[in-house]
Amino acid sequence: MPFVTAFIGWATNWLAIKMLFRPRKPISLLFFSLHGVIPRRQNDLAKQCSEIIESELLHQHMIRDVVRSLEIQPLVEEKIKVLIKEKLALKLKSIPLLGAMINDASLEMIQQIAAKELGEMSQELLHDLSGQVEDKFNIRSIIEGKILEFDLDKLEAIVMSVAQKEFKTIELVGAMLGFLIGVVQVIALYLMPA
């Protein structure tokens, strides 16, 4: 009897672990439906995980703050200098009359003025850009979408590889409890008056 109940305890826990992911599609059995917990609740899981991640780990405003903290002034100044030197200089020199007045000194002066003005505007540019990034980049919907797209076979393999030891422990505890229940039943049967 103890060995039979140990097997039953092990088998029920083994089945419960398997039913986290299986069956993938609902199977109707008489008056009830059999469906794996995670496949059945994948939408709820995606929604709750995305809410938790957004509220506890990656706040929507963190993206805005990171973008605003970028130091782009030197980058803007360098790009302006390249733009004026490589693109604008050729176009200005090709304009009749005006082209004769454009030399390296005047181009250098234009570069410095433009770089200084745009460099000062870089914080305003970052502020506007961070607002647009925050509006377009919705952490919650991205995470929810990724969880819904996640392949359940791959997820099962990941969970099983990470928690394999714990699942084996759960199965063994089920077997031990089943064995103990069997021992108690044998003792109870033995002590019962005939």
**pLDDT 10s digits, 144-177:** 898 888 888 888 888 889 999 999 999 999 999 9
- The mean per-residue pLDDT over the stretch 57-62 comes to 77
Phi-psi label, residue 23: left if phi above 0, alpha if psi -120 to 50, beta otherwise: beta
Q: Which two tokens stand for residue 94?
A: 């090709």
Largest Cα span, the chain:
124
- pLDDT of 123 reads 80
Q: Is the pLDDT of residue 58 over 80?
A: no
Give the integer Cα–Cα distance in Å for 90 and 81. Answer: 13
Segment 176-185, tens digit of pLDDT: 999 999 999 9
pLDDT at 32 (0 to 100): 87
pLDDT at 180: 96
The reported pLDDT for the residue numbered 64 is 79
Question: In angstroms, rounded to a whole number, what is the distance separating the alpha carbons of residues 177 and 183?
Answer: 10
pTM: 0.59
- Written as one letter, the residue type at 84 is I
Per-residue model confidence as pLDDT tens digits over 80-110? 888 888 888 888 778 888 777 888 888 888 8
Reading the block at residue 76, the tokens are 């803007």
CB 165 within 8 Å of CB 4:
no
In b/e form, how buried is each residue of 78-114, taking b as 16+ CB within 10 angstroms?
eebbeebeeebbeebeeeeeeeeebeeeebeebbeeb
Residue whose token pair is 């029920």: 12
* Spatial separation of the C-alpha atoms in residues 156 and 152, rounded to whole Å: 6
Helices (H), strands (E): how many in the chain? 10, 2
Is pLDDT above 80 for 194? no
Q: Which residue has the higher pLDDT, 52 or 85?
A: 52
pLDDT at 122 over 90: no
d(CA 118, CA 194): 100
Asked if residues 115 and 76 have their Cβ atoms less than 8 Å apart, the reply is: yes
Rounded to the nearest integer, the mean pLDDT of the chain is 87
**pLDDT reported for residue 140:** 84
Neighbours of 176 (CB within 10 A): 13
Looking at residue 168, its pLDDT comes to 95
